[in-house]
Amino acid sequence: MPCWRMEKSKRRTRIVVRIEIATLINRDGKINRRKMDRLAMVLSNLNNSGKQIIVVSSGAIVLGSEKLGLSNIPSAKIDMQAMAAVGQAELIRSYQRSFDEYGQIVAQVLVTSDIVDYPQRMENTRNTFDMLLSMNILPIVNENDPVSTTDIELDDNYPLALKVANITGADFIVIKSPDNGNYDIVAGNNQPVIHAEDEISLQEGIEDLCCRDARMASHPREIVFPASMEMIYSR
Amino acid sequence: MKFRENLKSKNRIVVKIGTSSLSFPNGRINFHRIEKLARILSQLRKKGMQVVLVTSGAIGVGAARIGMTERPRELPRKQALAAIGQAELIKIYQKFFEEYNQLVAQVLLTRDVVEEPERNRNAKRTLARLLEMELIPIINENDTIATHEIEFGDNDTLSAIVACLVEAGLLIILSDIDGLYSADPHTDPAAEIIHSVHDITPELEKLASGAGSSFSTGGMVTKISAARICQQAGVDCIIASGSDPAVILEILEGKKIGTHFVAGPPSVIQNESLQK
């Protein structure tokens, strides 16, 4: 049963959804349209139910390599950066196509991982997210790899999802598992991870947490999320 | 004319196109214009040239996408629209360039690409690699995370910085202004286009401040400052009208189009003027 208390309060529940591209592509490196459409449907639905959704998705390098017809993903950093520049356009285009099916407009937000070192930049990024979400737009975030000076995080984009969750003051992080496509809801503050086997139980799990949260949080508080995937699953 | 002849041999060029050249006066996107731009740049690439495109237009496209009719004023709203519009804009470019079998790459830059040496080297390397791979990098400012009103001031400055980053021989700035005029063409019927500039003097700058367009972000002033960055770096710069992207070809044929800010070490320019 949906909980209306949270929806009635001024602040809407904010959820960062972390997607690894491996969960959405076929073996040939091409996007699996059925899977991406399904994901877009679920997230559009969550958005419709009053939640604010931010997607953090990897995939630019993989799609760039596929686009250029490479049989393998290059290993040199410079080549990965070039692939990312080619593939990011492709990635956002694919998402947009799927979300368009459900009338959901998306926006592309590219950040570098050192964003947290620049308070002014962080503030501006937070404002951009707030504005997009208030306009019911779904931001799709990725690392700005072509200009990144730090190491490129090819498949583990959890650190980026964590940064985005912290910057935007998200309530939960949802992780789509690459192994079985299931969802894990990370509620932070040392609460147990909730596993959702399908989209319906994901929606239910989130409603459930919103109710619990509405009871617990009468005042704004800092949510501390686990700093790594290992920490999430070791508990 | 000798300086125009030099443009024929340019092998690596940066083309900057402004919002006013990409859209109709009502702010909606002009597909025909983009299609032609894509065709011409792809053609140059196929001839063996290296081409970089610096584009504006994300905010306008974003506004159109969500059915907004007015251009927003507040920064957060502009940034939000840029995030929506950039996704759409790169999709449109990708579509048209692919019709001419040309792959593109999206590179979004922030101000620190100039200020931080490591980021500078890094961006330089990535762009060089993309050009080596025969791709056309499509560059815009990363408005979403920019910290000031618009960090580069406008994309004119960004395009000059990019021209330096890729060590281009020529920067072509296309906008709704067909060049620098000797007087304000709106008020003075005797106003003539200045085809060639060797020195950006204070008088010239004063001239530029009067003849700006009210629609584009930059107007002439930012174009002059872009031209100065280019001149100092030894990059030729042409300011011309973007109403027909075919001017790019004519410029590369050495035709007398727009205003040419001639690059070159100061000594060379002095020698030239002495000969005159």
Q: Higher confidence at residue A120 or residue B174?
A: B174
Minimal-distance CA residue of chain B relative to A107: B84
B192 and B181 Cβ atoms separated by less than 8 Å: yes
pTM for this prediction: 0.89
pLDDT value at residue B183: 81
Provide, as residue numbers in chain B, all residues whose Cβ is less than 8 Å from the Cβ of A125: 144-145
Q: Provide the shortest C-alpha distance from residue B147 to chain A (in Å).
A: 5
What proportion of chain B, given as a percentage, has pLDDT over 90? Answer: 58
User: How far out from the chain centre does Cα A34 lie?
Assistant: 19
Q: In the CATH scheme, what is the homologous superfamily, with its name and number, of domain B2-275?
A: Acetylglutamate kinase-like (3.40.1160.10)
Mean pLDDT of chain B: 87
pLDDT value at residue B208: 77
pLDDT value at residue A6: 45
Query: Which one of B74, B77, B126 would you mutate to disrupt binding with A, by most A Cβ within 10 Å of its Cβ?
Result: B126
pLDDT of residue B141 exceeding 60: yes
Q: In the CATH scheme, what is the homologous superfamily, with its name and number, of domain A13-234?
A: Acetylglutamate kinase-like (3.40.1160.10)
Residue-wise pLDDT tens digits, B191-237: 889 999 998 888 888 777 754 443 344 578 889 989 999 999 999 99
Q: How far apart are CA B273 and CA B263, in angstroms?
A: 14
pLDDT value at residue B251: 97
pLDDT of residue A94 exceeding 80: yes
pLDDT of residue B273 exceeding 70: no
Q: How far apart are CA B195 and CA B261, in angstroms?
A: 8
Q: Do B91 and A92 touch (CB under 8 A)?
A: yes
Q: In this complex, which of A105, A106, A146 lies closest to B107 when CB atoms are compared?
A: A146
Q: How far apart are CA B164 and CA B233, in angstroms?
A: 7
Look at A3-12, A44-53, B25-34 and tell me which has the smallest mean pLDDT: A3-12
Q: In this complex, which of A85, A109, A121 lies closest to B137 when CB atoms are compared?
A: A85
Look at A201-205, B98-102, B136-140, B254-258 and tell me which has the smallest mean pLDDT: A201-205
Listed by number, the residues of chain B in 68-127 with a beta carbon closer than 8 Å to a beta carbon of chain A are 75-77, 79-80, 83-84, 86-88, 90-91, 94, 103-110, 113, 116, 118-119, 122-123, 125-126
Q: How far apart are CA A185 and CA A196, in angstroms?
A: 8
Q: Beta strand pairing status for A194-196 and A183-186?
A: antiparallel
Provide, as residue numbers in chain A, all residues whose Cβ is less than 8 Å from the Cβ of B94: 89-90, 93
Q: How far apart are CA B98 and CA A45, in angstroms?
A: 33
Q: Provide the shortest C-alpha distance from residue B272 to chain A (in Å).
A: 41
Confidence of residue A235 (pLDDT cuts 50, 70, 90): low
Q: In this complex, which of A115, A130, A137 lies closest to B145 when CB atoms are compared?
A: A115
A to B CB pairs, distance under 8 Å: 133
Q: In this complex, which of A67, A81, A105 lies closest to B66 when CB atoms are compared?
A: A105
pLDDT of residue A29 exceeding 90: no
Q: Do B108 and A147 touch (CB under 8 A)?
A: yes
Confidence of residue A212 (pLDDT cuts 50, 70, 90): confident
In this complex, is the C-beta atom of B28 within 8 Å of any C-beta atom belonging to chain A? no
Residue B191 carries which DSSP code?
-
Strand, helix or coil at B133? coil
Q: What is the value of ipTM here, to two decimals?
A: 0.84
* Amino acid letter, residue B5: E
Q: Do A124 and B79 touch (CB under 8 A)?
A: yes
